[in-house]
Each structure stands twice: as structure tokens, then as C-alpha cells.
Amino acid sequence: MTILICFGIPLGALLYALVRKRSYVRYFLFGVVGFAVFQIAIRVPLLNLITTTAPYIKLSLSSPYALAVLVAFSAALAEIIPRIGFLAVARKKEFDLKIPLFYGLGHGGIEAIYLLGIPSINILMHPVSMGYSDTIILGGFERIPAMILQVALSMLVYKGLYYRKISLVLAVVVLHTLIDTLALTYRVFGLSLIQVETVFLVANVVILLGALLVKRKKHSL
């Protein structure tokens, strides 16, 4: 199921775009490139390097919650930069929510493939040497609200740029940081994995509805 979700949703969206909406293929690819470059190629290696330093270790011991917020903020920052850069390309075009929709699916899709899709394939190919992980195999369901969030955040950034409302862009950074912080600290609140995923699903659907309801009215940045 994890493999079906992680590969099926993004590849299905890409196939649909190739067959029916070719003009949106580039926005899907923008999402893929944005995550691949700013997260996989830049943030993750830097984070891995920083985790071995004395200040990081000291902070993890003295203020783990503050560290969780900083790590979450770094993820939000790494993703807002390419969103602004790539979606700004469409700023002068006619308003079209399919643009951030396909960007979000590209971003969320490559994220799902990287975090769970490929590891799940490795587990199926090497069940004895790598072991069987229910968390990874069932984790595909977690990617559904995650993709919903990526689409919602992309829509908010797109509308922020299109309507010249910097408050929407800042809201994306705050929302992303809050959600990632909860993902890193949910055990502190006594939540089970199923409970926190339910919270994420509800919260991300609400964010998506909010992104869809933002009025079409331009303001100065």
C-alpha cells in the first residue's frame, strides 16, 4: 500500500498532466526540483553535518523542544524558497489554481518517494537482511495528509504572490513550522501515531480549505 500511495499518486498526476494538461507538467517538475535541491541536496546534508557539532548536541540535551522548533523552521525555510521562486514564474499569468496544485503534487510526490517509497521497495527486496518495518509499510497513509499539506501550502504561496499579500507567505512558514514541530514532539503530548496522523489529516484538510477560500483581491506587498 505504501508503494502504491508514494508512487501511484505523483506518477498518476504526472501522467494526467502529460496526457491532458501538458502546460502543467513544468509546474509538477518545479515541485520535484524544489524539494530535491533545497531539501535532499542542501538541507539534509547540512543538518546531518550540524548534528555532530557540540552546540547542536548541547541544545538537544538542554532545550530539545527549542531544537525541534529550529529543525522544523529549517524545513519550512528550505521549502518556502523554491516555492516563491518557481511560483513567481506564474505570477503574471491568468489566475489558475491548477498551477500550485501540480507544484504541490510534484513536491509532495518526490518527498513521499524519497522518504517512504524507496525504503519500502528496499524492504520488500531484502526482507531478511533489512527486516520488516510496520512503520514504513503502513507509513504510506501518512503521506496522504502530507501531500494535502504540500498542495495547500503551495496554493497559499501562489495566492500570496498573485494577490500581493505577503501575510499569506509568512503564514505558510508559520504553519509549516508548527506542523513539523508537532511531528517531532507528538510523543510529549501522549499521542499515538494513529492519533497524531488523524490530527494531521484534519489540520491539513482545514488548511487546504482555507487556502481555497482566500479571496481574490490584490494588495500591495
Domain boundaries, the chain: 2-213
On the CB side of 86, CA atoms within 13 Å amount to 27
Verdict on whether the full-model pTM lies above 0.85: yes
- Going residue by residue through the chain (221 aa), what tens digit of pLDDT does each one get? 778 888 999 999 999 999 998 999 999 999 999 999 999 999 999 999 999 999 999 999 999 999 999 999 999 999 999 999 999 988 878 899 999 999 999 999 999 999 988 888 877 777 655 545 555 555 667 889 999 999 999 999 999 999 999 999 999 999 999 999 999 998 887 888 788 888 999 999 999 999 999 876 554 44
Residue-level pLDDT at 217 = 57
User: CB of 200 within 8 A of CB of 145?
Assistant: yes
Residue-level pLDDT at 3 = 82
Residue-level pLDDT at 71 = 97
Residue pointed to by grid coordinates 496544485 = 101
What CA–CA distance (Å, rounded) separates 51 from 56?
A: 6
What CA–CA distance (Å, rounded) separates 160 from 98?
A: 15
Cell of 204: 491539513
Residue-level pLDDT at 105 = 97
On the CB side of 207, CA atoms within 13 Å amount to 28
List the alpha helices (DSSP H) in 113-165.
118-125, 127-130, 134-137, 140-162
What CA–CA distance (Å, rounded) separates 183 from 200?
A: 9
Give the single-character DSSP code of 41: I
